[in-house]
């Protein structure tokens, strides 16, 4: 994972955890988990059983909601 960068364009933080087939920094990963929990308990548990393509779609949906701090 060392050669990967955060899925959020413009983020230069070190990669922390996977999100679909990509990876996120720690701050964005925690934000992603929080966003999934807010979608409801069903979504949070369902994510673990999803294929990578389905997870990529969820991560892409979430990434549209992220605003980079200046």
What is d(CA 43, CA 38) in angstroms, rounded to the nearest whole number?
9
pLDDT at 70: 47
pTM of the model: 0.81
pLDDT at 52: 92
Residue identified by tokens 């990669």 is: 15
pLDDT at 58: 92
Above 90 in pLDDT, residue 16? Answer: yes
């Amino acid at each position: 994972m060392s050669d990967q960068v955060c899925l959020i364009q413009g983020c230069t933080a070190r990669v922390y955890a996977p999100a679909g087939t990509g990876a996120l920094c720690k701050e964005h990963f925690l934000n992603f988990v929080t966003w999934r929990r807010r979608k409801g308990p069903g979504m949070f548990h369902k994510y673990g059983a999803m294929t990578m393509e389905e997870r990529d779609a969820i991560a892409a949906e979430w990434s549209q909601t992220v605003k980079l701090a200046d």
